[in-house]
Structure 1
Amino acid sequence: MKIAIAQINPTIGEIAANASQIFQFALQAEQQNVSLLLTPELSLCGYPPKDLLLNSSFINDMAATLEQLAHDLPHSMAVLVGCVQPNAQYHQSGGKPLFNSAALLHQGKVEQVFHKRLLPNYDVFDEHRYFEPGLQINSFSFSSIKIGVTICEDFWNDEDFWGKRSYATNPIADLAALNVDLIVNLSASPYSAAKPHLRETMLKHAAIRYQKPIIYANQVGANDDLIFDGCSVGFNRKGEVVGRAKAFETDLLVVDFDEQLPDLKPSVIAPMPENDEEEIWKALVLGVRDYSRKCGFTKVVLGLSGGVDSALVAQIAASALGKENVLAVLMPSPYSSDHSVHDALLLAKNLGIQTQTLPIGDLMAGYDTALEPLFANTSFGLAEENIQSRIRGNLLMAIANKFGYLLLSTGNKSEMAVGYCTLYGDMNGGLAAIADVPKTRVYSICNWLNRTTEIIPTNILTKPPSAELKPGQVDADSLPPYDILDDILQRSIHNYQSAGQIVGAGHDKATVTRILALVARSEFKRRQAPPGLKITDRAFGTGWRMPIANKWIDASTHQLKLSPPLHSNL
């Protein structure tokens, strides 16, 4: 029996168009004599729908579309569609009003419905807000095969793999006890670096442990800050990959289930990205492309400074939308070096993108004149430096507003963490393309992009990074070297290490205390930043929930002294 995965790219709330995608994939599958087609989690409405689920019209539209889709689909195959189902017991027994479900559509009708049993409530997930957990072990018989059905998180609770349980039940163990022939999983698993490999390791472990073939159908595409890598995959009972869909692209993967074995036979195995840099690059390009497309933008604008961050964002934009749809704006000040302007223009030439130069010296002078009565008898400082950034931010927003472009902000994660950025200046934008990419990773991706041809000028990669807001300024005047800074941030933000543990790992105590204080007091900036594409397991986005008015001090290195903010408007 042939089973296929429709690795689709749904848009949240575009229910009819998502149903059309499923229908078109079903027609392709029909041509290959597929008997069962799988779609991702909540494929009908797109994941995550968030508070759209609180709107009864949204739920009713989904229900009507599901019925129509069942009627329209080829009757020769069954299709598992990710959707939402009402909780009929809600008014009598309480709980949540909805289930996160998979509907089995067959021969013109909704034949069965299965509910997700494990509901994640961590990082970017908030499913307890909307859904009631399913209580039934989910399986159905098709042809002569008994198929177990799971939805995303149902697979992520194997204590033998993780060393612990996060939930009381293990749906995979329950299905194995029922002696199903095959386990399928409908998923919408948000991307983070190296997660596709971790996911396959987990699935392989389950296939070997329970001696069951597994088919995993994942969503692809980007919705807001979340990116989905696809990489849908099939494993046989030995834990061998027998089929894999493309990474970061829509795809139809067909695998053959041999009912006599019973097991999956080898099929097409698409390659995974060769390294972390290629994987993250593909994720960022997809993220920018889908955010632009799904929000109705066809062109983007960004400030091009001659630095490495804007260089990377420019190349992402050109790859995502096409070089003809990118406008790079150079805004040199009296403090901008000649090499920065030259480097920016050379990069733009290499990429083939349009540029516009808007010098800001006269605008700076105008601000100086306007503020002179108030700023008289004070020294040049952060306020004056930040004016430059805010002038640039205003110009970019004016261009975006005038022509309907999406403004991409170019700040990296290291800067966002410690506040080395300016509110209403370089933080302006509709999307922060590399806000979850540490500075050291920015360099490694750029070097990877230059592996065969120099696209990003070498001088951009070798010169000391600088905001160029005053004569001779370099980042090292305010921050430790980026390899040190990023390691401290990794240990604190991702590994949840205390200040004492980070110092114990070999970092200077004064540096650690200063950096952690800057992270804490920069929360007000991050709260006002544009959405940033998530590519790590701990991004400054929907999964980051820190208070702004925060006076807690990590005493593990004794008393910490708060440092002044960097490039702050306070």
Structure 2
Amino acid sequence: MSHTISVSLVQQRFTVGAIRENSQRVIDIAQAASTDLVLFPEMTLTGYPPEDLVVRPDLLDAVELGLQQICLANLDKTLVVGHPWFDQGELYNAASVIQNGQVTGRYYKQALPNYGVFDELRYFTPGSEPLVIEIHGQKLAILICEDVWQGYPVADAKAAGADWALVLNASPYEMGKREQRQQLLQNLAQHLRLGFVYVNQMQGQDELVFDGSSMIVTPDGDIALQAPAFETGVYQATLRKQTSGWTVEHQYAAAANLSVEAEVYQALVVATRDYIQQNGFPGAVLGLSGGIDSALTLAIAADAIGVENVQALMLPFRYTSGMSVEDATEQARLMGIEFDVVSIEPMYDSFMQQLSPIFAGRKADTTEENLQARLRGVLLMALSNKTGRILLTTGNKSENAVGYCTLYGDMCGGFAVIKDVPKTLVYRLAAYRNTLSPIIPQRVIDRPPSAELAPGQTDQDNLPPYDDLDAMIEAYVEHDKSLPEIVAMGYAEATVRRVLNLIDLNEYKRRQSAVGPKITPRNFSKDRRNPITSALRKQR
């Protein structure tokens, strides 16, 4: 009996819906691996999350053909592959064990998440039994993602005699999630004396981004292997049983501990690149205003798909400062981006001439400001339409929260890169990106933010300071704190009431915003599903 098991952790992209291609990639990766065991992520064959595609009969038929395709390769090693499976009238989130051209075991995920971005009870039936396999006489349990967060499937696996758990994951990124996973597995390992081989996919999928960060945790609770975040790879290691316990041998240096800024920036780059490339866009366009939001969005886009595939337009008006034009022009020069300046003033004057009879007797207000934003949206969408490149929106989470954005204006676009990034974090990300190479003019970071839709305008004319605003948004949106609880944090009641009312009132705007990557614990999409029509704010 051998006391060693060699294992490959497959931290890769598996495109949603590309079942034939994903199945072939499983074969190719497994053939290239020189290990006893090859462990793939959750729902490998369909990609994750497949959402309502998973209930389509043709998709489930394709999954069955994909498994047959893998079995026909008759590989001389053990594969553990995630996929949906229909069994006796029920649909399961499953993992198949494939050995010598046959499926020798199948595990059904027991703990189905139904919170935040997850809707697994909408589709799947929970499993009820552990699965323990043997390789070289060593017992290994199969688990899937949420099973380790709920705990009882892990305890059942240990009770069934397992020394190690093989955990297939499609665990989305959010700030702090990597550390949460590490702590969870270390605690479980120490409590149960059970080791974990934990593999996670690495890719962007619509609003979700998966960071990888696969790992091996020994039964003593030590992190023996930590794969890098936001990098694809196949990581090989040997589990060796000795009289003193289990050791893990591999050739990789410890993954770097990233700062919050580095981690979030990489997440946004991966999400942007994968959304653009997997949806077949030849590039991206955006409006570069000379402000920090568009400056950061441009940097992320260029890092994601290359400067040669990004085009920026500066669309000044009479209220646009010379400083903004200079800063936008300088950033485009520093980055080598295709860049044009087109004034919206002639179009604005033409529109106002047509509207003046209709507006007669009415005072100027935000209508005229929003018209500027909408004219910019028209021009940017025209460029997107003409080139086939996707238009990226540049609004941040703070603005989206309180509606400090214009429907069919600066909200125009197909992907909202920093949609879930609070304004205070936008500044930190811009400063971080400049530590890699100084491509954002320092004046953009230092100057007060302004939409420049009126003379001398700054954001703080209409909003609390962003340090305060972001703290209130986080308390209300991410932690469900009430008005009195937020006031108790040290803010004026009138200010808090106004901010909370703005958040509730602008649900209708957020419903019409482009999809964008989630990086906070609760975003304004699947995480938070509030009604548009609600009298809650009137009850305060």
Q: TM-score range by the shorter chain?
A: over 0.9
Question: Does the alignment pair 1:41 with 2:42?
Answer: yes
Out of 127, 130, 146, the position equivalent to 1:153 is 146
Aligned match of 2:31: 27
Is the alpha carbon distance of 1:550 and 1:540 closer, same or farther for their aligned partners in structure 2, counting shifts above 3 Å? Answer: same
* 2:353 partner amino acid: T
Residues matched between the structures, number:
534
Distance in 2 (alpha carbons) for counterparts of 1:288 and 1:2: 35
* 1:14 partner amino acid: A
Question: Does the alignment pair 1:2 with 2:6?
Answer: yes
Question: Does the alignment pair 1:439 with 2:423?
Answer: yes
* 1:27 partner amino acid: Q
* 1:524 partner amino acid: Y
Please say if residues 94 and 108 of structure 2, whose CA atoms lie closer than 8 Å, have aligned partners that are also in contact: yes
Distance in 2 (alpha carbons) for counterparts of 1:243 and 1:514: 49
Question: Does the alignment pair 1:230 with 2:212?
Answer: yes
Distance in 2 (alpha carbons) for counterparts of 1:54 and 1:458: 51
Distance in 2 (alpha carbons) for counterparts of 1:408 and 1:490: 25
Aligned match of 2:248: 265
Alignment of 1:169-180 (within 5 A): 170-180=152-162
* 2:22 partner amino acid: N
Question: Does the alignment pair 1:397 with 2:381?
Answer: yes
Please say if residues 295 and 440 of structure 2, whose CA atoms lie closer than 8 Å, have aligned partners that are also in contact: yes
Is the alpha carbon distance of 1:273 and 1:294 closer, same or farther for their aligned partners in structure 2, counting shifts above 3 Å? Answer: farther
Aligned match of 2:288: 304
Aligned match of 1:564: none
Alignment of 1:64-83 (within 5 A): 64-72=65-73, 74=75, 76-83=76-83
Please say if residues 239 and 249 of structure 2, whose CA atoms lie closer than 8 Å, have aligned partners that are also in contact: no
Distance in 2 (alpha carbons) for counterparts of 1:66 and 1:414: 46
**Secondary structure of residue in 2 paired with 1:184:** strand
Out of 355, 363, 381, the position equivalent to 2:339 is 355
Please say if residues 499 and 554 of structure 1, whose CA atoms lie closer than 8 Å, have aligned partners that are also in contact: no
Please say if residues 309 and 412 of structure 1, whose CA atoms lie closer than 8 Å, have aligned partners that are also in contact: yes
* 1:81 partner amino acid: V
Distance in 2 (alpha carbons) for counterparts of 1:106 and 1:270: 32
The Cα of 1:298 is off from its aligned counterpart by: 2.4
The Cα of 1:270 is off from its aligned counterpart by: 4.2
RMSD (CA atoms):
1.2
For structure 2, the residue ranges without an aligned partner over 5 or more in a row are: none
**Secondary structure of residue in 1 paired with 2:276:** helix
Distance in 1 (alpha carbons) for counterparts of 2:256 and 2:182: 11
Aligned match of 2:171: 189
The Cα of 1:246 is off from its aligned counterpart by: 2.2
Please say if residues 504 and 537 of structure 2, whose CA atoms lie closer than 8 Å, have aligned partners that are also in contact: no
**Secondary structure of residue in 2 paired with 1:335:** coil
The Cα of 1:292 is off from its aligned counterpart by: 0.5
Distance in 1 (alpha carbons) for counterparts of 2:274 and 2:429: 21
Question: Does the alignment pair 1:294 with 2:287?
Answer: no
Taking structure 2 as the reference length, the TM-score comes to 0.97
The Cα of 1:73 is off from its aligned counterpart by: 5.1
The Cα of 1:260 is off from its aligned counterpart by: 4.0
Alignment of 1:114-153 (within 5 A): 114-153=107-146
Distance in 2 (alpha carbons) for counterparts of 1:270 and 1:311: 33
Deviations 1:360-409 (A, max 9, x none): 00000011011011111211111110000000111111111111101100
Aligned match of 1:424: 408
User: Percent same amino acid at aligned positions?
Assistant: 40
Distance in 2 (alpha carbons) for counterparts of 1:452 and 1:290: 22
Aligned match of 1:253: 235
More deviation in 241-250 or 496-505? Answer: 241-250
For structure 1, the residue ranges without an aligned partner over 5 or more in a row are: 91-96, 159-169, 561-570
Aligned match of 2:316: 332
Out of 397, 415, 418, the position equivalent to 2:399 is 415
The Cα of 1:274 is off from its aligned counterpart by: 2.2
Taking structure 1 as the reference length, the TM-score comes to 0.92
Aligned match of 2:222: 240
**Secondary structure of residue in 1 paired with 2:204:** strand
Please say if residues 186 and 222 of structure 2, whose CA atoms lie closer than 8 Å, have aligned partners that are also in contact: yes
